[in-house]
Structure 1
Amino acid sequence: MWNRPRFDLKVRLTLRVAAISAACFAAISAYFLITADRAAHARIDAIAAIVAKTLELQQGKVLWTANPRPDFPNLDPVSAYVMTPGLCLAFRGPSGEIIQRFCSGAPVTADAPPQIFTAFYHGLFDPGRKAARPVMLRGSKLGEAVVSVDPAVQTAEAWHEAGRLMLALAIALPLLCVLVYAALARALRPTRLISTGLERIAAGDLTTRLPPFDLAELSAVRDVFNHLAESLDTALAERAELTRKLIALQDEERRHLARELHDEFGQSLAAIRALASSARQTAAQDCPSLLGECDGIARTASGMMETLRGALFRLRPPEVEELGLVASLEGLVAGWNGRSRGETRFAIRFDGTFETLPASISANLYRIVQEALTNAAKHAGATKVNLELTMHEGEIALAIDDDGRSTDPVAKSGMGLLGMRERVAALRGRLSFEAGPQGGSALRVVIPLASAGPQVLEHAA
């Protein structure tokens, strides 16, 4: 499976809200710019209409008074009322020449719009567009009243309006992001409890339960989580109980087989040795040539008895309840060291007090160590095996390291390892088997001393 990058949900949602807010601000700014441009054009058109009407009245007054030296056109009266910075008033004659022109200067501002905004605004709008209205008198056209605004002034006004919006955006957007992130962090705080609960479930703590949540969606997750944990806990408890019964039945079969071997084969081998000894005495008197055969029968019977003792010890070791776990394991290790004749060296170390362990845990730990030593010595071909049994914080940890063949299929997946897994599962523990850091194999077993009731995670407000 590919390792996909992980993003914090709060950061991702906050960035999306910020992007949407910025887009909304941009749309609002565009709306204001469009509205301001339309308003400027409407104002210019209205001023052009006023100028044209004023000039018509002036011409009519000239005709009415029959002034031989008419003062037409005269833009001064109307300019006193409508002039604004950057505004130009003009009268264009019938032939297109400008007869009179009056312009107000553009104010000098320190915050001139940036070139990029000027190019953007000129590309979208036409700030230098002129408004013309005809000047009519008795159905004849005397000329046109022309009104325009300096493009730089109109662009500066648009930049001023846009700058106010940008300032509002610069203040509101970070504040909005902080508030959204805080709200999301509070709303998603229960997800930490869910994540912690899943981690505990993955670690084998099936007693974990989630508390009630305020959100309906998280409450549904909580119900499913708790139901799943309870179902898994029940299933594992039933499996552990069945495994315990199977292990108890297996141990009972081993004891029964050990009694059969001891009673039948042991007595038969003892009888064979006795008969061999009697036959040797008779052969010593009557047929000395049979002494070698009698001694061979006795040696074979003795060897079989030694083998039988070893098999009986593995089938039915000394009672752990009587000797204790520490003494039993020390005897087991000493026995392997004695049988190895220097080929394999076994070492064991204890850390903790094991006298008060329940009988079921002690017996299963002894069997687990017995199977592990057998796998390491016989199947993995190890020449050095180190065992460490520790007890701390309410659990027992068993570590077995060897220098054998870690890839041996029997050592990894044989019946011995399967039996160990079943015993560990019966004790609600954990088992791992992998290659050691410096070669060989490493077996790790962790067994809890007691199972607590359901643990409900604290609900973070």
Structure 2
Amino acid sequence: MPENAVPAPAIAPDALQPALDLQRTLLRRGALLVALLLLGLGLWSGQALGRAERVALPATARLVAQLLHQDLARQLSAFERDLEQVPVRLEVLADLERRLPLCVRLRAIDEREIGAHCGPDTPVAAPARWLGRQLAALASADRPDRVRLPLLLPAGIKAGTIEVGVHWDQVGLAWAERLLLLLGLGLLLGAAGLALSWPVGRALRPTRQILAALARLEAGEREVRLPVPPLRELRELTLCFNRLAQRWTELLARQQQLAGRLLHTREEERRHLARELHDEMAQSLSALRAETAVIGALAARTGTPALQQAAGRIALLCAQLQEALQGVLQALRPTMLDRFGLGAALEALVAQPRRREVDGALPACTLQLPPGGLEAVPADMAVHVYRIVQEGLTNAVRHGEARAVQVQMRLDRDIDPQATLLIDIADDGRGPGPDGPVPGHGLLGLHERVQALGGTLALDRPEAGGMRLRVRLPIRPPAPMEDRT
């Protein structure tokens, strides 16, 4: 059975890309932005710490030298020159070292170390020491991390050298504390982002409703409408969707009404042509056959065999014309439909393919009617149901070369207060494909007929093979006569 020949709409290349979830995308990008911001702040704060210590180092070194010289002046007289008799006390720098990360080393004239101390004495873990080394490497190279000043006795004689440097372990510890603070800030921002995800998701909930409504609208639901959300942007979008859906519903109703009128007009024209052909041509052919029989009898009585043979050929030709005319009349308007009703007409229609051989075998066609028959189907709709089943059988037997066709019809009253007629035509034919028939205009016309009746058509291929045509038609009361004109 060939597939529906209605072409599918072209898909834009961008539509093939995976869709993004707006809420998750906002959370991911927000988390990435916060992480990059905190990382930048952390690097900047570390570099700022190192640069600040290097910039302040000369002034700090002068302050250290001043404190040490004042302490030496209190311990030594102006005439003492032996520095080893009165050792330099680095304890005087304790208050300063508690505030500044310093390493102070004292060297004698011969570069011998006579004292050293680094402060503060706070224990520094290995990660902080590693951070300190990184800061020492990141600091500006144009500023030294050590300053050397002369160590002078009260008499003004140089007794050694004061070497003041940055205690990078303590700077690394300070940087680690700032990084922990930034990490805590990041966790707070993450918690705030997660907390904001709920109102954001709630604010974006109408977008999911819009998508669901669009899917329902695409599926053919005409009455789908959206509630107006409080968010201004989404309110405008929702109102626009509702107006679009209303406009689409009105246009579809007009289109369906016009298509229904065209179908009704076409069937009326077929009925009229069938009646005219039956009344005029059929009667003329019957009269012609009668006249031919008279001519044949006279020819036999007068002994003219040539005339008798010609009369016989004319009679045979008239019989063939009458048979062809009956086929045309049946195609224009099924006589059994008007005489015996839809059920009997379908029984006769299903019996017709049994007389057509497919690869030397007769196809088996069965019909299952709903309990109580098809009395609920209006008379103006019966001919369309007949045409739908007729086209389905034609596609299955003639085009799909099916050996078995099953036609099942039932009435469904569960979804709509009005009944819905379900037509299911399944076959074991080839169906469309590399070896199957090419879809033609038959199913296109069938699709248009079903749409004009307000129904739906589905065509699929079962796993067991063959094709399956499913049609769903709402049964409506007959339209008033003025609506049909």
Q: TM-score range by the shorter chain?
A: 0.7 to 0.9
User: What corresponds to 2:286 in structure 1?
Assistant: 270
How far 1:11 moved relative to its partner? 1.8
Give the Cα separation in 2 of the matches to 1:107 and 1:321.
Answer: 111
User: What corresponds to 2:440 in structure 1?
Assistant: 413
Question: What TM-score does the superposition give when structure 1 sets the normalisation length?
Answer: 0.79
User: What corresponds to 2:234 in structure 1?
Assistant: 218
How far 1:131 moved relative to its partner? 4.1
How far 1:256 moved relative to its partner? 1.6
Q: Larger RCO: Structure 1 or Structure 2 (Cα < 8 Å, ≥ 6 residues apart)?
A: 2
Tell me if structure 2 keeps the 8 A contact 1:45–1:132. no
Tell me if structure 2 keeps the 8 A contact 1:112–1:156. no
Give the Cα separation in 1 of the matches to 2:72 and 2:24.
Answer: 71
Structure 1 segment 190-339 matched on structure 2, within 5 A? 190-287=206-303, 289=305, 291-318=308-335, 320=337, 323-337=340-354
Q: Which moved more, 1:99-108 or 1:367-376?
A: 99-108
Change (3 A) 1:131 1:450: farther
Q: Which moved more, 1:417-426 or 1:41-50?
A: 41-50
Question: What TM-score does the superposition give when structure 2 sets the normalisation length?
Answer: 0.76
- Does residue 421 of structure 2 align to residue 396 of structure 1? yes
Q: Which moved more, 1:135-144 or 1:275-284?
A: 135-144
**What letter is aligned with 1:313?**
Q
How far 1:80 moved relative to its partner? 4.8
User: What corresponds to 1:446 in structure 2?
Assistant: 472
Change (3 A) 1:63 1:116: closer
Structure 1 segment 25-424 matched on structure 2, within 5 A? 25-37=38-50, 40=53, 48-58=61-71, 74-76=88-90, 78-84=92-98, 87-92=102-107, 95=109, 97=111, 100-103=114-117, 109=123, 111-113=125-127, 117=131, 119-125=133-139, 129-133=145-149, 142=158, 145-169=162-186, 171-172=187-188, 174-287=190-303, 289=305, 291-318=308-335, 320=337, 323-337=340-354, 343-351=362-370, 354-377=374-397, 382-392=402-412, 393-394=415-416, 395-402=420-427, 403=429, 406=432, 412-414=439-441, 416-424=442-450
- Does residue 36 of structure 2 align to residue 23 of structure 1? yes
Give the Cα separation in 2 of the matches to 1:322 and 1:295.
Answer: 34
Give the Cα separation in 2 of the matches to 1:307 and 1:333.
Answer: 20
Please list the CA deviations of residues 217-236 of structure 1 after superposition, one character each: whole Å capped at 9, or x if unmatched.
Answer: 22232233223222222222
Q: What SS does the corresponding residue of 1:209 show, helix, strand or coil?
A: coil
Give the Cα separation in 2 of the matches to 1:339 and 1:56.
Answer: 125
User: What corresponds to 1:455 in structure 2?
Assistant: none
Please list the CA deviations of residues 241-268 of structure 1 after superposition, one character each: whole Å capped at 9, or x if unmatched.
Answer: 2222222221221122112111111111
Change (3 A) 1:131 1:270: same
Instruction: Name the Cα RMSD after superposition.
Output: 4.1
Q: What SS does the corresponding residue of 1:332 show, helix, strand or coil?
A: helix
Give the Cα separation in 2 of the matches to 1:357 and 1:442.
Answer: 23
* Unaligned residue ranges in structure 1 (runs of 5+): 452-461
* Unaligned residue ranges in structure 2 (runs of 5+): 1-11, 478-485
Give the Cα separation in 2 of the matches to 1:358 and 1:28.
Answer: 78
Change (3 A) 1:435 1:68: closer
